[in-house]
Homo-oligomer: A and B are copies of this chain.
Amino acid sequence: MLAAAVRLFNTHGYDATSMFDIAESLGITKSALYHHVSGKEQLLTMAVDRALGGLEEAAAEVRATAAPAAARLEDLIRRSVLVLAGRLEFVTLLLRVHGNTEAELHALARRREFDRSVTDLVREAQSEGGVRADVDPAVAARLLFGMVNSLVEWYRPDRGAPETIAAMVTTLAFDGLRTR
């Protein structure tokens, strides 16, 4: 049910998807839908929770390791790509949320907290000498996750295994495109 709703939200947009559309795609009536969920916003909340949960779990696991910061950053990027690929539809919805309601603002706050932890990791890696110091850590973090997050716009299983994509992302992030 959540899956059906999220699929429609992603295809036609959250606002453009009516509760009737969701019910119809499940072969039930709108009233039956309201018997199971409190409203449209709850579906959104459940979906972005699943996305944020995966990302936060990845960050926590990485924080628990004792490797150098640069290696932890690489690991976080890798794990994030795997979360994105595994929970693609939920993360897609999360990344399109823009803070119109209370619930969306809360999701946005959690996203910002995640972003902040990435920035911190970049800064730490710079001070350890593992990452070049001539880039602003906040900008670098945002560009890095701009790359990762772009998966929601184009990734499909037939374009490569998640691990393959993750390897490409970390290669590009740490070594760049130039031949050497």
Contacts and interface: CB of A to CB of B under 8 A. Distances in A.
A139 interface: yes
Contacts of A145: 150
Size class of the contact patch on chain A: 35 or more
Contacts of A178: 70, 130-132, 174-175
Interface stretch (A12-20, A23-31, A44-52): A12-20
Interface in A71-117: 96, 98, 100
Q: DSSP majority for the A interface?
A: helix
9 contacts: A12-B98, A13-B98, A13-B100, A130-B178, A130-B179, A133-B179, A143-B169, A146-B146, A146-B147
Nearest to A145: B150
Contacts of A131: 177-179
A173 interface: yes
A35 interface: no
Interface string A137-155: 0111011111111110110
Which 4 pairs between the two chains have the least Cβ-Cβ distance? A146-B150, A15-B15, A176-B176, A175-B176
